Amino acid sequence: MALGERGGWDKSESRYCGVETDFNDDMPHLLSFNLSSGGFDFVVATLMDPNYRPSLIEKDIGGGSHFLPFAGSDLVLSPSQWSSHVVGKISSWIDLDSEDEILRMDSETTLKQEISWASHLSLQACLLPSPKGASCANYARCVNQILQSLNNMQLWLRIPLVKNDDDTMDFIPSGDSWELWNSFRLLCEHHSQLSVALDVLSSLPSANSLGRWFGEPVRAAIIHTDSFLTNARGYPCLSRRHQKLITGFLNHSIQVVISGKLNHGVPSVSLDSALDHTGTNVESSQRHSLRPYLDYIAYLYQRMDPLPEQERFELSYRDFLQSPLQGHNPLFHIISDEFCTIEFSNYYLSFQPLMDNLEAQTYETFEKDSVKYIQYQRAIGNALVDRVPDEEASSLTTVLMVVGAGRGPLVRASLQAAEETGRKLKIYAVEKNPNAVVTLHSLVRLEGWEKTVTIVSHDMRCWDAPEKADILVSELLGSFGDNELSPECLDGAQRFLKQDGISIPSSYTSFIQPVTASKLHNDVIPCLCVQVSLLEAISFSSKRVLALQVKSHKDVVHFETAYVVKVHSVARLAPCEPVFTFTHPNFSTKKSNQRYKKLRFEIPSDTGSAMVHGFAGYFDAMLYKDVHLGIEPSTATPNMFSWFAIFFPLRTPVCIRPGSPLEVHFWRCCGSTKVWYEWCVASPNPSPVHNSNGRSYWVGL
């Protein structure tokens, strides 16, 4: 039983709730009881008898060993049951860093045997026990060896979510469980198949400390029954802080697992009492002992606010890396469901804003952003009122030029602003894309704009205007403000703006902030199109997943490229800081669009240590006076979807310790044929300067 259906929401993994079980050698009955009677979606089950030790296995006379005491054979469940409903739990006794050599060797042998068996069963994941001490080097070494040859199965490292000042976990450096995880994943080279399963206990760290985990590869949250409180009716509930945390997990597709025994006075049934000696359910009317906890998690899930329409539209773009300003082509993916189904989504290909022309489908996507054009209309209307006094409104005509007119949305916004304010307009619509010009001419005829709008099929930087403009309007902004060459384009166009003319936008500023973004860092790959025939896709059987995967290219080029992305599974480690500002018009004789900025970020002290995988970039633009639009989180324009953030990755992630400032350097560099960014970290640990001389990522002039 999934946690529930929510209209218009995604079918994410967080809808499914599991239960941690004790060892039971009757796997079919264990599964049936917990899924049928308990209502859980999967079990986290020990695969091997906890009493098994390789060193105790007696050797046969012929030298062979007895069969290993697994929980039955692979035939006791169907392949789909193993894959969909069982997460393997590696024996909790193993200690690969023990001083006891026998225990250490037994642990290593058992770990490899159990993961090999889980892989044979095609399990989706295995839960690794927490490291037993402050040193986990041998444990991590062994896991890293396994990861090198592992199939698609995920390994979840169990990490207790403890408070920074909790003295009960002495083996964790600084009392911070994140340090334990960080040490382990560094030893495993940030492997993409190594994830986290957080043990959520009764006490929680600070909000800033918890926030780090949303940028880490957390796949499951194991909630212990002793973390629950009891409400007035005797049923389990969670504190407000725990509720907020679990809701955050659910929103980030992190699955919940219930663990422990019944701690509340609710009628229940145990596995032993529910099944007689033949395995028949003799007390089906009674509920599973942990069902009240499942019901409460379902309650939290179902009462979550429904996603706004914009968020639902953007779900498929979450944490999906794209090259800045791109065209798109449909690509189908196979998703796991009751039946093999096809899901269409946008697959993005690299696009240069000046060197290439947008396609009709891309124009259509941008034109649907009504919020953006409402803001532009407000700005144009205010500029018209300031430019033309009321007494001259009927006699004075304002010359307005839309540079980069596309298929005409800014032309329409300008005409509507003129109608609202009662001002007269003469519009020049300048557009370099010959295909969009065809649409503009058709629009002029259809709307009857012949006497008002003149279409100019030309690059704004080269056109010789017949007269000077009062107002210059453009929408050349990118996710980082200036990354789609708005400064260069408007510098070329401002020669036909009057000395006292108005530019809309009048200024824009880029911003960055350091982020933990493990998923984005692991997904830094080239934009490659994987083609699979429709027949091949449909031929896959029920419950199978066609994985269209391209191995990550961990090379310099892709880690020196900035990506546009709808950031979701990230931890924002510090407030945004401004980077580059451009103002228009700019009549300075010594103007240059090259920029350099040194930034310093202070991570809140109660956050603890954190890993910086890169920087999220945003912009805020002043269209005219107090009319602005932007995506910088603290001032973002609501319900606007034309821009996602930009992500500048670091080739090697940087670990920040409490109280240690992060010093970052950003450059905007300009050449005769291209513009590019360079960036680096100077403190606490220097990084290489990324994208030197635009060797990996640039925008062509």
CB 343 within 8 A of CB 332: yes
Say yes or no to pLDDT of 287 above 90. Answer: no
CA-CA distance, 219 to 197, in Å (whole number)? Answer: 6
In this predicted structure, what is the pLDDT of residue 544? 32
Say yes or no to pLDDT of 207 above 80. Answer: yes
CA-CA distance, 414 to 380, in Å (whole number)? Answer: 6
Count CA atoms closer than 13 A to 128's CA, side-chain side: 31
CB 511 within 8 A of CB 643: no
Any known ligand binding at 459?
Answer: yes
Other CB atoms within a 10 A radius of the CB of residue 635 amount to 13
How confident is residue 335, by pLDDT bands cut at 50, 70 and 90? very low
Ramachandran angles phi, psi of 440, nearest 5°: -60, -45
Query: Of 304, 320, 336, at which residue does a domain stop?
Result: 304
Residue 60 located in a structural domain: no
CATH of residue 33's domain is: 3.20.20.150
- Catalytic residue chosen out of the listed positions 114, 475, 632, 678: 475
Any known ligand binding at 460?
Answer: yes
Say yes or no to pLDDT of 339 above 80. Answer: no
In this predicted structure, what is the pLDDT of residue 276? 40
CA-CA distance, 682 to 662, in Å (whole number)? Answer: 8
How confident is residue 525, by pLDDT bands cut at 50, 70 and 90? low
Residue 74: partners with Cβ closer than 8 Å, 6 or more residues away: 82, 120, 121
33: DSSP letter: I
CB 56 within 8 A of CB 103: no
**Closest to 227 (Cα-Cα) out of 199, 253, 265:** 199
CA-CA distance, 532 to 546, in Å (whole number)? Answer: 10
Whether 388 and 527 share a structural domain: no
CB 639 within 8 A of CB 308: yes
Say yes or no to pLDDT of 532 above 50. Answer: no
Any known ligand binding at 419?
Answer: no
CATH of residue 464's domain is: 3.40.50.150
How confident is residue 6, by pLDDT bands cut at 50, 70 and 90? low
Whether 409 and 518 share a structural domain: no
* 205-209 mean pLDDT: 94
**Closest to 487 (Cα-Cα) out of 412, 584, 394:** 584
Whether 33 and 150 share a structural domain: yes
Which residues are registered as beta bridge partners of 333?
343
Q: Read off the tokens for 660.
A: 């240690």
Q: Which phi-psi region, left, alpha or beta, contains residue 272 (left: φ > 0; alpha: ψ -120 to 50)?
A: alpha
In this predicted structure, what is the pLDDT of residue 275? 41
Instruction: Specify the higher pLDDT residue, 46 or 531.
Output: 46
Ramachandran angles phi, psi of 630, nearest 5°: 175, 175
Whether 443 and 524 share a structural domain: no
CA-CA distance, 83 to 98, in Å (whole number)? Answer: 33
- Please state the separation of Cα 647 from the chain's center in Å: 11
Other CB atoms within a 10 A radius of the CB of residue 499 amount to 7
Residue 5 located in a structural domain: no
Burial status of residue 235 (CB atoms within 10 A of its CB: 0-12, 13-18, 19 or more): middle
In this predicted structure, what is the pLDDT of residue 550? 37
Average pLDDT in the chain: 85
**Closest to 647 (Cα-Cα) out of 670, 625, 617, 673:** 617
Listing DSSP states for 153-183 in one string gives: -EEEEEEEE--TT-TT-TTSGGG-HHHHHHH
Any known ligand binding at 611?
Answer: no
Instruction: Specify the higher pLDDT residue, 525 or 431.
Output: 431
Count CA atoms closer than 13 A to 89's CA, side-chain side: 25
> How many domains does one find in the chain?
3
Residue with tokens 């451009």: 582
567-584, pLDDT tens digit by residue? 999 999 999 999 999 999
Whether 423 and 514 share a structural domain: no
Q: Read off the tokens for 570.
A: 């990230």
In the chain the first and final C-alpha atoms are separated, in Å, by 56
**Percentage, residues of the chain above pLDDT 70:** 83
In this predicted structure, what is the pLDDT of residue 35? 93
CA-CA distance, 698 to 701, in Å (whole number)? Answer: 10
* 497-509 mean pLDDT: 96
Say yes or no to pLDDT of 1 above 90. Answer: no
Any known ligand binding at 467?
Answer: no
Instruction: Specify the higher pLDDT residue, 246 or 342.
Output: 246
Whether 589 and 694 share a structural domain: yes
Say yes or no to pLDDT of 277 above 50. Answer: no
Whether 551 and 653 share a structural domain: yes
Instruction: Specify the higher pLDDT residue, 75 or 668.
Output: 668
Residue with tokens 């005769």: 672
CA-CA distance, 571 to 213, in Å (whole number)? Answer: 7
Q: Read off the tokens for 154.
A: 């995920």
CA-CA distance, 678 to 595, in Å (whole number)? Answer: 10
Residue 322 located in a structural domain: no
Query: Of 265, 285, 304, at which residue does a domain stop?
Result: 304
303-312, 388-397, 434-443: the lowest-pLDDT one: 303-312
CA-CA distance, 587 to 374, in Å (whole number)? Answer: 29
Whether 453 and 522 share a structural domain: no
Say yes or no to pLDDT of 118 above 70. Answer: yes
Query: Of 421, 451, 475, at which residue does a domain stop?
Result: 475
Residue 61 located in a structural domain: no
In this predicted structure, what is the pLDDT of residue 337? 32
**Closest to 158 (Cα-Cα) out of 130, 184, 132:** 130
Whether 267 and 410 share a structural domain: no
Listing DSSP states for 39-103 in one string gives: --SEEEEE-B-TT--GGGPPBPTTSPBPPP-BSS-GGGS-HHHHHHHEEEE--TT--TT-S-HHH
CB 401 within 8 A of CB 469: yes
397-414, pLDDT tens digit by residue? 999 999 999 999 999 999
How confident is residue 348, by pLDDT bands cut at 50, 70 and 90? very low
Residue 454 located in a structural domain: yes
User: Residue 671 carries which side chain, given as an amino acid letter?
Assistant: G
Say yes or no to pLDDT of 170 above 80. Answer: no
In this predicted structure, what is the pLDDT of residue 306? 83
In this predicted structure, what is the pLDDT of residue 169? 52
Say yes or no to pLDDT of 324 above 80. Answer: no
In this predicted structure, what is the pLDDT of residue 165? 55
Whether 96 and 138 share a structural domain: yes
- Catalytic residue chosen out of the listed positions 20, 484, 488, 632: 484
Ramachandran angles phi, psi of 693, nearest 5°: 60, 25
CB 85 within 8 A of CB 31: yes
Q: Read off the tokens for 437.
A: 């010009």
Cα dihedral angle (94, 130, 121, 523), rounded to 10 degrees? -140
* 17-43 mean pLDDT: 92
CATH of residue 517's domain is: 2.70.160.11
1-5, 225-229, 357-361, 366-370: the lowest-pLDDT one: 1-5
Helix (H) or strand (E) holding 256: strand 255-259
Crossing angle of helices 101-120 and 137-149, in 10° steps, is 30
C-alpha triplet 409, 410, 411: angle, nearest 5°: 90
Whether 97 and 23 share a structural domain: yes
Helix (H) or strand (E) holding 374: helix 370-387
221-263, pLDDT tens digit by residue? 999 999 999 998 889 999 999 999 999 999 999 999 999 987 6
Give the three-state DSSP class for 277: coil
541-600, pLDDT tens digit by residue? 333 333 333 344 457 899 999 999 999 999 999 999 999 999 999 988 778 999 999 999
Residue 486 located in a structural domain: no
Say yes or no to pLDDT of 336 above 60. Answer: no
Say yes or no to pLDDT of 206 above 60. Answer: yes
Say yes or no to pLDDT of 71 above 60. Answer: no
Q: Specify whether 359 is catalytic.
A: no
Q: Read off the tokens for 324.
A: 């800045």
* C-alpha dihedral sign at 559, 564, 568, 572: positive
Say yes or no to pLDDT of 80 above 90. Answer: yes
Residue 348 located in a structural domain: no
Q: Read off the tokens for 429.
A: 């619509």
Residue 502 located in a structural domain: no
Say yes or no to pLDDT of 390 above 50. Answer: yes
Any known ligand binding at 112?
Answer: no
Q: Specify whether 484 is catalytic.
A: yes
Whether 566 and 471 share a structural domain: no
In this predicted structure, what is the pLDDT of residue 327? 31
CA-CA distance, 516 to 216, in Å (whole number)? Answer: 7
How confident is residue 358, by pLDDT bands cut at 50, 70 and 90? confident
List the domain range (segments joined by +) for residue 679.
508-700
